Structure 1
Amino acid sequence: MMHSKPEQWGGHAWTDWAMNADRWDWNAGVGVIAAAEFGAKTENEEIVREVEAWVKRNIGQSESILTINSIAPFAVFPLLHRIAGRSFYADKAGEVARWLIDEAPRTKNGAFEHTVTEKASFSEQIWADTIFMAVLFLARTARMKGDGRIALEALRQVRLHLEALQDEETGLLFHGWDCEAGNWMSGARWNRANAWIAVGVPMILEETEALCGDDALLAEIKRRYARLADALVQRQHAGGLWPTVFDRPGFYAETSGSAGIACGLYKAARMGLVPVALLAHAVRAVPAVLATIGPDGAVGGVSGGTPVLPSIEAYGDVPIFPTLYGQGLTLLLLTEALAEAGEEK
């Protein structure tokens, strides 16, 4: 499959953004979330301090940006509050959570409308990305505050997104749903869209299940997630990765989404959300992801940031280059793989 040249996607401005850590947006946010997770699970205080330094250096940018995508970096605030003990993190997280629940734009069915840091409008659109970029933050804030109302909203958003995006025939997820038009737009069962939810839902359930109090809601989420996981393992290439569009096995294998899916399977198997047998698919993905990492540590085979595109074929032309979300999803996978290896000893 041929790929568009980066120039067609904004040239140097696009590729410079991809590895620019000092921006308060979803790209850097995914990397920071992963670094914090790795630092906490390996008890590496230096990494956690670096995450806090990143927040202090870039928090000023967040004051003028309040969208779904710009919420992502706030997901590290509950961890920093627990470790550093600064009330600022709890207070700011509470402020942002209130904005999400009370003021953030919603679609006609009550889901968060996907909004981005760029000057673009996606009226009445539901994107899979929102689960990781904003709902994860909401779930972590709920646990930090012991707030059942926030936890319930996070889980309702998960259900709304699964209901809107899941294909009942295959169990896979479409990239987006247009509530106004009543369709899945491009109709692409896109790799990374599935990854945001595959990894995001177990992380959200970890934070909110004890606070929920709605057994029927939890059961519906778990049922849909199990169906998704079963569908995902059927689309895995023999080499360990997943194609960038599941309906097009000839499209290029995409690393970041593959890492996210495999990480989600690790977490879900550990939590009992999916059969332990599915763990083998996560294990198979690890060496394939590792093989994409270059001598400089950059993860290869990562597709550029992708809105819902006009056609399925367009996803096969998205250029590939290293990005911070590619680094982050890979680090999340390796963190889970290390944890699993440690438990087996």
Structure 2
Amino acid sequence: MKKTITYFALFTFALVLFTSCKNAKKENTKETATVEKIVPENLKWSERMMLSEIERFPEASKLDFVDKPRWSYTNGLVLSASLRVFEKTKNQKFYDYAYAYANDLVESDGNIKTYKITDQNLDMIKSGDVLLYLYPKTKEERFLKAMETLNSQMETQPKTSDGGYWHKKRYPYQMWLDGLYMAEPFHINYANEYIKDEAQKQKIYDDVVLQFDLIQKHSYDKNTGLLYHGWDESKDQRWANKETGNSQHFWSRGMGWYGMAMVDVLDFLPKNHPGREKIINYLNLYAEALVKVQDKSGLWWQVLDQGNREGNYLEATGTAMFTYAFAKGVRKGYLDKKYLAVAEKAFSGLINNLVSVEENGVVNLNKCCSVAGLGGDPYRDGSYEYYINEPIRSNDPKGTGPFIMASLELNK
């Protein structure tokens, strides 16, 4: 009887052990399946981030966490980056992603869905860069008509008394640093490709350079070399200094937009145009000032000159933009080679502090300021408290797009 019980116990133990091993094997197989790499880790950071964006936003028209397709500057920013990655890799996926956006938003007659020319909003010009790339390849007339519409906005954009474009019709008499990146690369590139009248073309060149001249005149701070986020000619806005018209602070991403505007506009401004040397000079002043406020981590602060003041934080979107501007500025010969080390340090700062990679290979860019502006409703007063308390999120396209372009410039 005792022997029978012993045999039974041994048999039961063996059965439990076998079943456990079998289940463990199943679980291990299951676990391995869940960490299959959506984004391969042996690619360059530019490809990895772009593939991650496509994974996050399968529809390019819904980039920036929106529910419905819309024509917006954030799409233009990321999709311009996507097309640059396509140029580098020849991976059709990156071209198709950008084409799908234009295909969804531009109707057969050239009408741009969700876009209103009457808003006179400079932000809406940015996605025109995608059309400038696609039209010569596709020859789809609707893309040309859409570009003509965007250019006609530039021709009718309201201006300050000295010729600076208002940022939007609803922001009268105001120039923001953002606006130069949103509109000027498109405007000058379009002029080169599609304006046949030489006098008209020269007028656009002069007008583009004037925008940089005016920003330097009105927003440049001689003490720090940094530029204020916005300038209100009327001085009516609550955020505006009653003597200068400037906003109160040096915002990281505002300065980032401006740097990218300079290095991108120089791609299209003729070498013999007198404005070229002026913009290169502005870029050098800009670089000199930014190095002084770069954190030892390589990153830059949300409010640039306030260091580790309570509430301030090291911010991703501005840092990515500065990295791109420095790297491209050196590559094109606008900046001294010493600034390449600044770009390298900044990129390492991003990777080491603000980039995380999920088990499936998807890349995240963290600590992005979600949005910041001036005026509007609810009113944004441009105070230090305002800038540090705007929402922070991961993978904001205003960070991922410049990160991709910076990665390409540095070939990381």
Q: What TM-score does the superposition give when structure 2 sets the normalisation length?
A: 0.71
2:65 maps to which of 12, 19, 28: 19
Cα distance in structure 1, aligned partners of 2:245 and 2:64:
27
1:110 maps to which of 143, 147, 163: 163
The alpha carbon displacement at 1:55 in A equals 1.1
2:267 maps to which of 184, 199, 206: 206
Cα distance in structure 2, aligned partners of 1:285 and 1:29:
24
1:173 aligns with 2:231: no
Per-residue CA distance 1:196-255 (angstroms, 9 max, x = gap):
011121111111234xx532x222222122101111112111111100111211120110
- The residue correspondences of 1:1-12 to structure 2 (distance < 5 A) are none
Cα distance in structure 2, aligned partners of 1:160 and 1:135:
13
1:305 aligns with 2:371: yes
> Where does residue 93 of structure 2 map in the other structure?
46
Cα distance in structure 1, aligned partners of 2:303 and 2:145:
41
1:293 maps to which of 349, 352, 355: 355
Per-residue CA distance 1:16-70 (angstroms, 9 max, x = gap):
9842383211222322222222222433333122201111112342443552111
> Where does residue 134 of structure 1 map in the other structure?
183
Counterpart contact for 1:174–1:190, Cα < 8 Å: yes
Change (3 A) 1:42 1:172: farther
> Where does residue 3 of structure 1 map in the other structure?
none
The alpha carbon displacement at 1:303 in A equals 0.2
> Where does residue 76 of structure 2 map in the other structure?
29
CA RMSD of aligned residues (A): 2.2
1:228 maps to which of 286, 304, 315: 286
Change (3 A) 1:35 1:252: same
Change (3 A) 1:312 1:56: same
Counterpart contact for 2:76–2:127, Cα < 8 Å: yes
> Where does residue 41 of structure 2 map in the other structure?
none
Cα distance in structure 2, aligned partners of 1:208 and 1:90:
22
Cα distance in structure 2, aligned partners of 1:163 and 1:43:
43
Give the counterpart letter for 1:179 in structure 2.
Answer: E
Per-residue CA distance 1:96-122 (angstroms, 9 max, x = gap):
213202x11212221110128xxxx22
The alpha carbon displacement at 1:184 in A equals 4.6
Greater RCO (CA < 8 Å, at least 6 residues apart): 1
> Where does residue 405 of structure 2 map in the other structure?
332
- Structure 2: stretches of 5+ with no match in the other structure: 1-61, 107-111, 196-200, 236-242, 375-379
> Where does residue 13 of structure 1 map in the other structure?
none
Farther off after superposition, 74-83 or 137-146: 137-146
> Percent identity at matched positions?
22
Change (3 A) 1:50 1:86: same
Cα distance in structure 2, aligned partners of 1:227 and 1:140:
25
Structure with the greater alpha carbon radius of gyration:
2
> Where does residue 305 of structure 2 map in the other structure?
247
Counterpart contact for 2:321–2:399, Cα < 8 Å: no
> Where does residue 319 of structure 1 map in the other structure?
391
Cα distance in structure 1, aligned partners of 2:367 and 2:344:
19
Cα distance in structure 1, aligned partners of 2:91 and 2:407:
15
Counterpart contact for 2:63–2:397, Cα < 8 Å: no
> Where does residue 144 of structure 1 map in the other structure?
193
Counterpart contact for 2:178–2:254, Cα < 8 Å: yes
> Could you say what secondary structure the match of 2:266 adopts?
helix
Counterpart contact for 2:160–2:173, Cα < 8 Å: yes
Runs of 4+ in 1 over 6 A off after TM superposition: none
> Could you say what secondary structure the match of 2:231 adopts?
strand
Change (3 A) 1:166 1:207: same
Cα distance in structure 2, aligned partners of 1:58 and 1:162:
35
Cα distance in structure 2, aligned partners of 1:281 and 1:29:
27
